[in-house]
C-alpha cells in the first residue's frame, strides 16, 4: 500500500447501513468499493447451486477460492436467504482464510479503497488509516431491511426479520473466527436516529477529521 493510500474500513452488523455509507464514501472520495459480504454470499450461493450442505468445508473452501469479483449477480446474492446462508459459511475459518488475499489485493490499490464487512478493521486491513464501526438498534435495522426487501418484491414479515437480525448478530459476534467487533482505533457511528444523508455527512466528517490529523502529523 502506498503512503498516500486512503483505505477506509467500514464494519458493522447486518443492515446497519454500512453498505450504503461505504458506497457513498467511495463515490465522494473517488475510490473503488468492495462489499465483502458479497464474497460470503457468493460462496454460499455456489454451495446451494451444487446441492451441497453449508457445512461441507472442502466444497465451501473450493467455492471461496473460485470466486471472481466480476461474476457477481448482486440481485441474486442480496436475498434474505443468502444473507442467512452467508452468515453460516462465514463462520468457517478455512473459508475466511481463503478470502483474505482477494480482499487484501483489492485494498492494496495505490489510491486506496473502501471495504465494508465485519472484520475489515480488525483482520483484513488492520493498518487502515480510517476505520468506522457503523451501528444502529436491532429494531431500526430490521425496519430498514424490511423496507429494502419489500422494495425488491420479497415477502416481508417484520417480526421474523427482527428475529433474523438478532440471530445474525449472535452468529457473527459469537463465532471464534474473526468475530464482529469494533477495532480499538475505529470510530463508532450510531445511525439509529440518522437518515441516510445525515449518516453520510457524519461518516464523511470522520474521514476528513482523520485526514486532517494525519496531515498535521506529517
Ligand atoms: O454484510 P452482509 O449482510 O452482506 O453479510 C452477509 C454475511 O456474511 C454476514 O452475516 C456475515 C458475513 N460476513 C463476514 O463474516 N465478514 C465480512 N467481512 C462480511 C460479511
**Could you tell me if the CB of 13 is within 6 A of ligand 1?**
no
CATH number reported for the structural domain that contains residue 39 in this entry:
3.40.50.300
- Separation CA 81–CA 86 (nearest Å): 9
**Per-residue model confidence as pLDDT tens digits over 10-44:** 999 988 999 999 999 999 999 999 999 999 999 99
Backbone φ and ψ for 153, nearest 5 degrees, come out as 85, 5
State CA 149 to chain mean position distance.
18
Residue 217 belongs to some domain of the structure:
no
Residue 61 belongs to some domain of the structure:
yes
Domains contained in the chain, number: 1
Residue 1 belongs to some domain of the structure:
no
pTM, to two decimals: 0.93
Query: What is the best residue among 33, 54, 117 to mutate for testing ligand 1's pocket, by most ligand atoms within 8 Å of CB?
Result: 117
Look up the domain containing 132 and give its range: 6-210
How would you write the pLDDT of the chain (218 residues) with one tens digit per residue?
A: 445 789 999 999 988 999 999 999 999 999 999 999 999 999 999 999 999 999 999 999 999 999 988 788 888 998 888 998 999 999 999 999 999 999 999 999 999 999 999 999 999 999 999 999 999 999 999 999 999 889 888 888 999 999 999 998 998 888 888 888 999 999 999 999 999 999 999 999 999 999 888 888 87
**Per-residue model confidence as pLDDT tens digits over 136-156:** 999 999 999 999 889 888 888
Determine the atom of ligand 1 nearest the C-alpha atom of 11. Answer: 18
Residue 56 belongs to some domain of the structure:
yes
CA neighbor of 116 nearest in space, from 102, 103, 105: 103
- Separation CA 47–CA 70 (nearest Å): 19
Residue 24 belongs to some domain of the structure:
yes
Residue 216 belongs to some domain of the structure:
no
The rounded Å distance from CA 40 to ligand 1 centre is 6
Determine the atom of ligand 1 nearest the C-alpha atom of 168. Answer: 10
Q: What is the pLDDT of residue 2?
A: 43
Residue 218 belongs to some domain of the structure:
no
The strand pairing partners of 135, in sequence order, are 190
Q: What is the pLDDT of residue 155?
A: 85
The rounded Å distance from CA 215 to ligand 1 centre is 33
Q: What is the pLDDT of residue 1?
A: 41
C-alpha distance from residue 31 to each of 50, 174, 180 (Å) = 35, 32, 24
Q: What is the pLDDT of residue 3?
A: 55
Amino acid at each position: 500500500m502506498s503512503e498516500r493510500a486512503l483505505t477506509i474500513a467500514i464494519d458493522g452488523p447486518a443492515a446497519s447501513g454500512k453498505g450504503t455509507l461505504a458506497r457513498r464514501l467511495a463515490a465522494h472520495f473517488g475510490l473503488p468499493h468492495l462489499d465483502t459480504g458479497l464474497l460470503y454470499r457468493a460462496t454460499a450461493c455456489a454451495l446451494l447451486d451444487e446441492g451441497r450442505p453449508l457445512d461441507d468445508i472442502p466444497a465451501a473452501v473450493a467455492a471461496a477460492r473460485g470466486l471472481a469479483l466480476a461474476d457477481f449477480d448482486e440481485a441474486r446474492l442480496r436475498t434474505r436467504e443468502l444473507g442467512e446462508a452467508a452468515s453460516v459459511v462465514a463462520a468457517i475459518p478455512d473459508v475466511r482464510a481463503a478470502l483474505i488475499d482477494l480482499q487484501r489485493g483489492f485494498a492494496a490499490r495505490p489510491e486506496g479503497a473502501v471495504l465494508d464487512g465485519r472484520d475489515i478493521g480488525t483482520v483484513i486491513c488492520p493498518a487502515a488509516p480510517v476505520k468506522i464501526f457503523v451501528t444502529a438498534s436491532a429494531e431500526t435495522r430490521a425496519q430498514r431491511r424490511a423496507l429494502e426487501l419489500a422494495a425488491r418484491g420479497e415477502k416481508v414479515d417484520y417480526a421474523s426479520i427482527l428475529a433474523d437480525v438478532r440471530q445474525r448478530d449472535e452468529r457473527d459476534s459469537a463465532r471464534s473466527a474473526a468475530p464482529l467487533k469494533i477495532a480499538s482505533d475505529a470510530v463508532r457511528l450510531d445511525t439509529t436516529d440518522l437518515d441516510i444523508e445525515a449518516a453520510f455527512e457524519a461518516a464523511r466528517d470522520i474521514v476528513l477529521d482523520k485526514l486532517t490529523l494525519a496531515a498535521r502529523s506529517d
